[in-house]
Structure 1
Amino acid sequence: MPTETCILTTKDLTILEVMRERCLGRDDPLAPILKRKIESALVVFRDDVRVNVATLSSRVAFRVDGREPDTRILSHDRMNGSAGLFLPITTPRGLALLGLAEGEDFFLTDHEGREERVVLEKVHYQPEAARREREALSSSSAPAQRKPSLKLVRGALYNEPRLVPAGSDDFDDPGPSAA
């Protein structure tokens, strides 16, 4: 098997380590995948992860054995939402995609010995990259946060006295109904 490298954020690695501790033993289908991911991990801070790497909560496009591509959001566990929107990392395919860079593949072997190839095609959204982008926008627009200076120009009628019509009895209090 070729040398694998899995790029994980510190948060993603911590989640995988907890998952490995909770495995049901050697019969758990995720145990060998978790072992491969953790042992081949290149751990980076969330600010240092490349934008083309699949992290938790990333929206990714992938192929399985060359079939039509599928797009999903990598989630921690099964999510309540639209069917087919999320791919939990508690499934072999979801776990296989975590930490891959665009164009990389991961080979899974099922309990009958059949192998399938999962290829990460594209990372459409990565929360770490989006966070960095938001911070860059807010820091670059910080000087523009000043209040705009406007000069109020009043019309010619501003200083004229306002005429208030008086009733027929010269009593101009409109009463509670005007409130």
Structure 2
Amino acid sequence: MSAESCILTTKDFTILEVMRDRCLGREDPLALLLKRKLDSALVVFRDDVPANVATLSSRVNFSVNGGERDTRVISDGNMSAPVGLFLPISNPRGLALLGLIEGQEFCFTDPDRVERRVMLEQVLYQPEAVRREKEAMSGLSRPSTRKPVLRLVHSAGGAVRQPVPAGPEGFDDPGPSAA
């Protein structure tokens, strides 16, 4: 993978496409970042995304320009509480982190024309990986060896079917209001 590439789930890719479509033009500070992310993305199903990739709702450790390590949850909206826990993808740092693999960097110029280098240090929690683990623990990911629990009923005790009376229009169905 090149330094510019990223791995996005189908859901994450779709959300970024919608964000790009809603951009206000070239003046939008996220327009160029969105284009770079979408153009370089390898799109995978949520079951196929590696556990060391930052996806939406992942809790990650990262640093900016080699500075102090920060921990945030990547979110798709502006979260108001608790303050400092979420990093929305509407923020250039959040968008830069989305789709990165542990150890990978993404460089961009912020609205103040300052070069930023965001490095994903560690994915502490990824919802897709946790989902796969839960399925593996409960046995849902492998074929079942148990017999089916359903029982096929061939008749309802020998009841005789009654013809449905037809009204003057040919069908006497009172509709959902009669229920």
TM exceeding 0.5: yes
Runs of 4 or more above 6 Å deviation? none
Query: Percent of counterpart pairs with the same letter?
Result: 66
Letter in 2 for 1:7: I
SS in 1 for 2:26: coil
1:66 paired residue number: 66
SS in 2 for 1:94: helix
1:22 paired residue number: 22
When the two structures are aligned, how many residues end up with a matched partner? 143
**Structure exhibiting the larger radius of gyration computed from Cα positions:** 1
Alignment of 1:39-78 (within 5 A): 39-78=39-78
TM (norm. structure 2) is 0.76
Sort the Cα spacing of 1:122 and 1:21 in 2 relative to 1 into closer, same or farther, 3 A: same
Give how far 1:110 is off.
2.1
Q: Does 1:123 align with 2:137?
A: no
Listed one character per residue, the Cα deviations across residues 124-173 of structure 1 (whole Å, up to 9, x for unaligned) are: 00000000000001117x89xxxxxxxxxxxxxxxxxxxxxxxxxxxxxx
SS in 2 for 1:118: strand
5+ residue gaps, structure 1: 144-179
1:150 paired residue number: none
TM (norm. structure 1) is 0.76
Give how far 1:79 is off.
1.4
CA-atom RMSD, angstroms?
Answer: 1.9
SS in 2 for 1:61: strand
Give how far 1:25 is off.
0.7
C-alpha separation between the residues in 1 aligned to 2:3 and 2:79?
33
Q: Does 1:92 align with 2:92?
A: yes
Listed one character per residue, the Cα deviations across residues 20-60 of structure 1 (whole Å, up to 9, x for unaligned) are: 00001111000000000000000000000000000000000
Alignment of 1:104-143 (within 5 A): 104-139=104-139
C-alpha separation between the residues in 1 aligned to 2:134 and 2:53?
19
C-alpha separation between the residues in 2 aligned to 1:59 and 1:111?
25
